[in-house]
Structure 1
Amino acid sequence: MRFVLLLLCLLVFSFRPDKPAYRLYDPNLKAATYDKLLRRAADADVVLFGELHNNPICHWLELQLTKDLQARKKGALVLGAEMFEADNQTALTDYVQGRTTGKELATQARLWPNFDTDYKPITDFAREQKIPFIATNVPRRYASLVARQGLTALDTLSTEAKGQMAPLPLTVDLTLPGYKAMLDMMNGSAHSGSKGTASNPHQGSTDQAANFARAQAIKDATMAYFILQNLKPGQTMLHLNGDYHSKNFEGIVWYLRQQRPDLNVVTLSSVELLDTEKPTSENRNLADFVLAIPADMTKTY
């Protein structure tokens, strides 16, 4: 009997469990499944996939979700992405509809440096399946303008330029936790080197931080705007964006809710953890689904 018990102990302690590349959790950090994510996504109007830009698991799961949603929605799927800016819509549409080549897309659109490894597979799948693909982000030059000079700088733009962003004037609530965290971070790092006024030595850094948060807001608002402009009843839009743009149900979600409070929005937030089996309290309520990925996962860049 002792021999049997010893043998069982050896088997238990010598057993090496699988090393999953990711785990899914619900907002309360209870284990969830990919099948549940797929079912919720298929029933949603908008799915916001908050990715880590250089994480291969995010990009792989985005592709799998795209393929599976296409199979389920049978032509009622629309794609959207932060990685394409609104003034590149024609170039993106021409490629997806097969009118141009990849080489032409690269010269006609401002592609991210990691496009070939991380976003081309989904873009090519959209081309193969003729899935509409929407360039939702504000052109970066206008976000940069806001970061430097504030939202009022957009008032001087042409009508054509204003058509590439959310309608103005834009409401920005800097008390929202996500924007407030940006303000605190920017203020904390900028105070030491800022040039304020004699009465308020930190005024310069405070204004700069606020404009930085407003630049984030014009991106969030513009992505929400173009999502709604290109979403028809019965469709699901799968939207790819950096995690910060939608986690904690803020950013894009907040702007979607301002216009369509009835919208069925499903969010996913990506986190890297030392132990994906043990998410911590700070990962709670980040999104409808929390994608936990090993912290030592290899990066795409």
Structure 2
Amino acid sequence: MNYFLCLLILLTTAAFMSDKPAYRLFDQKLKPSRYDKLLKDAAEADVVLFGELHNNPICHWLELQLAKDLYARKGKQLVLGAEMFEADNQQPLNEYLQGKISDKELNKQARLWNNYDTDYRPIVDFARKNQVPVVASNVPRRYASMVARQGLASLDALPANEKQQIAPLPIEVDLTLPGYKAMLGMMDSAHGSAHSSGSADDAAKREQAANFPRAQAIKDATMAHFILQNLSPGQTLLHVNGSYHSNNFEGIGWYLRKQRPDLRILTISSVELEDPDNPEKSSRDLANFVLTIPADMTKTY
């Protein structure tokens, strides 16, 4: 009896090992996890930050599945949010969700990403069908561009109505946070500042380079701001954003915790690997859940 039981276990294990899964899930310490555990934890969270790879179909499919399953559990207590919609496009987005305008009208009135139809429309249409709110959380791109070119002070001169589309000013930016620090290092290298002579010109170049992570921070702060603006007690807000906006519990999550330390935040990070069964050590503590996807997975663009 024991012999046949052992044989069955071996055959089952062999079949599992020979499978070619589209993704694997791991916890924060890179121990194997399961979707039902992710769903349970997500339903108990106030905010879920789904860090995606923008051109990866598995990310978009799993976002939709998580939205559907959270809706089955939370009903009207579910709210969706997305980096892919900028704050000043909230009105046309609302009108589309309410059935007042068509998809063609939404495309005319909102600045939709090029991959909207294939990657984001399914989750928006799910929200429309079930009357689930969708928060246009991102800062209008022109303001992020202003910061990248001219610095944070450039936002001060904006009219009051335009400032309403940004997180309240002044916005704290901590360039020592690892994510922003890494961006600053890349910009320093790109501008040849690694061998700085200490001149005033070098200092000016470094200050200009620092505007790049500051522009990223404006996006993170604004997304956090509009998440909190649209979150009520008992709700779960599932927010879709690039992984770099929430990796290492920084970015959006950092700004959320600054304002609401009590908030229950769950993060998901997506990584592409040659061997999805064996995540790299660098993915440890990347997020509460790490979604590993084969590196050769088909891209949406």
TM over 0.5: yes
Task: Report how far residue 117 of structure 1 moved.
Answer: 0.3
Match of 1:79, SS?
Answer: strand
AA aligned opposite 2:152: L
CA distance in 1, matches of 2:73, 2:79: 13
SS at match of 1:182: helix
* Matched letter for residue 292 of structure 2: A
Partner of 2:191, secondary structure, is helix
2:153 is equivalent to residue 152 of structure 1? yes
- 5 Å-filtered alignment, 1:256-295, equals 256-295=256-295
Given residue 230 of structure 2, which amino acid in structure 1 is its aligned partner? N
Could you tell me whether the CA contact under 8 Å between 1:248 and 1:286 is conserved in 2? yes
Q: Secondary structure at the match of 1:110?
A: coil
How far the C-alpha of 1:201 sits from its partner, in A, is 4.4
| Mapping for residues 232-251 of structure 1, pairs under 5 Å | 232-251=232-251
CA-CA distance at 1:75 after TM superposition: 1.1
Q: Partners in 2 of 1:177 and 1:250 — Cα distance?
A: 8
- CA distance, structure 2, for counterparts of residue 62 and residue 137 of structure 1: 18
2-structure distance, mates of 1:202, 1:106: 44
Looking at structure 2, the residues matched to 67 and 245 of structure 1 have their Cα atoms a distance apart, in angstroms, of 23
Structure 1 counterpart of 2:90, one-letter code: Q
Instruction: Flag structure 2 segments of 5+ consecutive residues without an equivalent.
Output: 1-10
| Structure-to-structure mapping, 1:55-204, within 5 angstroms | 55-191=56-192, 199-204=199-204
The alignment's TM-score, normalised by the length of structure 1, stands at 0.93
On the 8 A contact 1:86/1:164 being kept in 2, the answer is: yes
Q: C-alpha distance in 2, partners of 1:129/1:153?
A: 41
2:260 aligned with 1:252: no
d(CA) in 1 for partners of 2:98, 2:198: 58
- Supply the AA of the counterpart residue of 1:273: L
- Give the conservation status (yes or no) of the 8 Å contact 1:91–1:105: yes
- Which residue is 1:206 aligned to? 206
Return the alpha-carbon distance in structure 1 between the equivalents of residues 193 and 144 of structure 2.
25
Cα distance in 2, alignment partners of residues 99 and 205 from structure 1: 49
1:59 deviates by 0.3
Tell me the distance in 1 between the aligned counterparts of 2:273 and 2:178: 22
Match for 1:158: what amino acid?
Answer: P
Provide the rounded CA distance (Å) in 2 between the counterparts of 1:202 and 1:153.
22
What secondary structure sits across from 2:21 in the alignment? coil
Instruction: State the alpha-carbon separation in 2 of the partners of residues 82 and 220 from structure 1.
Output: 9
The match for 2:228 is 228
Alpha-carbon distance in 1 for matches of 2:33, 2:150? 44
Q: Equivalents in 1 of 2:203, 2:213: separation in Å?
A: 15
Contact 2:193/2:205 (8 A) holds in 1: no
Q: Distance in 1 between matches of 2:197 and 2:280?
A: 43
- Superposition CA RMSD, Å: 2.1
Cα separation, 2, equivalents of 1:188 and 1:25: 34
**Structure 1 ranges of 4+ moved more than 4 A:** none
Gaps of 5+ in 1: 1-10
Match of 2:22, SS? coil
Aligned residue pairs: how many? Answer: 291
